[in-house]
């Protein structure tokens, strides 16, 4: 059994208190000093735990004031943070899931991959991501033949994450990505899977991902419910 780090234990405890309502939206969390005493850990451990909750958009840290519970606790993602959907869900205390996994050659890939993937052969990896049993997003990823032909649907289902499957099964680690974000209307399939009316607004993200050597790894289109997912941009003067 893998030993859990102290900051993970603190983060999980605080996350549970937030989601169960002990700390309500807008409420200030106990100070770092108070949390250090409460959990019997170092101040640095508390800060790492709070950083995890900040990345998950559960709290906002205000310099000189403290940490406050956010009002909107839906799935969120900070721009500039290359994390998998699985990690986002876990940071929010939800159980990541994956259903309807499909891996196949795509004879008619989208135009967006032209000039991106290094071969004419494109593999499509299609899946539905869930959080604690509820569908959150539909993900379609196109990969070059050297990668797509080696994706095992059973292994992907077991790993729960394409990035985890790439890293642990194929020794391919993503390093950077470019994303574009759009609002689009749900088509019939998206409406059915995400349980929304046809035409409902979705947040659609297109991502071009590269490995550490700068080689293309995947092009992904994800569609998520607009009322359950948002992007966060943090600006500094």
Residue with tokens 């205000």: 62
pLDDT at site 147: 94
Give the lowest-confidence range in 84-88, 112-116, 126-130, 188-192. 84-88
Domains and CATH numbers, the chain: 6-69 (1.10.10.10), 75-232 (3.40.1410.10)
Q: Is 208 left (phi over 0), alpha (psi -120 to 50) or beta?
A: beta
Rounded to an integer, what distance in angstroms lies between the CA atom of residue 166 and that of residue 173? Answer: 7
129 neighbors 97 (Cβ within 8 angstroms): yes
Structure-token pair, residue 145: 């033949």
DSSP bridge pairs for 60: 68
What pLDDT sits at residue 79? 47
Residues 136, 205: contact at Cβ < 8 Å? no
The stretch 99-104 carries a mean pLDDT of: 94
pLDDT of residue 85: 67
3-class DSSP state of 35: helix
**pLDDT of amino acid 233:** 57
CB atoms under 10 Å from CB of 195, counted, come to 10
Q: Using an 8 Å Cβ cutoff, are 124 and 109 in contact? A: yes
Separation CA 220–CA 152 (nearest Å): 18
Confidence at 199, pLDDT banded by 50, 70, 90: very high
Q: Is the pLDDT of residue 88 over 80?
A: no
How sure is the predictor about 80, in pLDDT bands with cuts at 50, 70 and 90?
very low
Could you tell me which of 105, 162, 98, 155 has the C-alpha nearest to residue 127?
Answer: 98
* pLDDT in the model for residue 71: 74
pLDDT at 229: 64
> Distance (Å, rounded) from C-alpha 142 to C-alpha 149?
11
Query: Distance between the two ends of the chain, CA-based, in angstroms?
Result: 45
DSSP-derived pairing of the beta strands 229-232 and 96-105: unpaired
Q: Answer for the pair 196, 203: CB distance below 8 angstroms, yes or no.
A: no
């Amino acid at each position: 059994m893998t030993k859990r780090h102290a900051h993970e234990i603190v983060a999980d405890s605080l996350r549970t208190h937030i989601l169960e309502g002990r700390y309500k939206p807008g409420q200030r969390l106990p100070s770092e000093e108070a949390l250090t005493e409460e959990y019997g850990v170092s101040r640095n451990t508390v800060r790492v735990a709070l950083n995890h909750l900040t990345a998950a958009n559960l709290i906002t840290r205000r310099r000189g004031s403290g940490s406050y519970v956010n009002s909107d606790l839906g799935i969120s993602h900070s721009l500039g943070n290359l994390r998998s959907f699985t990690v986002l869900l876990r940071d929010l205390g939800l159980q990541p899931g994956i259903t309807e996994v499909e891996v196949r050659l795509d004879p008619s890939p989208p135009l967006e991959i032209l000039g991106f993937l290094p071969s004419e052969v494109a593999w499509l990896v299609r899946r539905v991501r869930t959080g604690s049993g509820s569908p959150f997003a539909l993900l379609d990823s196109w990969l070059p033949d050297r990668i797509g032909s080696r994706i095992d649907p059973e292994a992907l289902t077991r790993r729960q994450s394409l990035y985890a499957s790439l890293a642990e099964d194929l020794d391919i680690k993503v390093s950077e990505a470019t994303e574009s974000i759009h609002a689009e209307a749900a088509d019939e399939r998206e409406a059915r899977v995400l349980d929304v009316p046809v035409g409902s607004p979705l947040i659609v993200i297109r991502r071009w991902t590269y490995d550490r050597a700068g080689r293309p790894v995947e092009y992904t289109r994800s569609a998520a419910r607009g009322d359950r997912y948002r992007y966060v941009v943090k600006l500094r003067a």
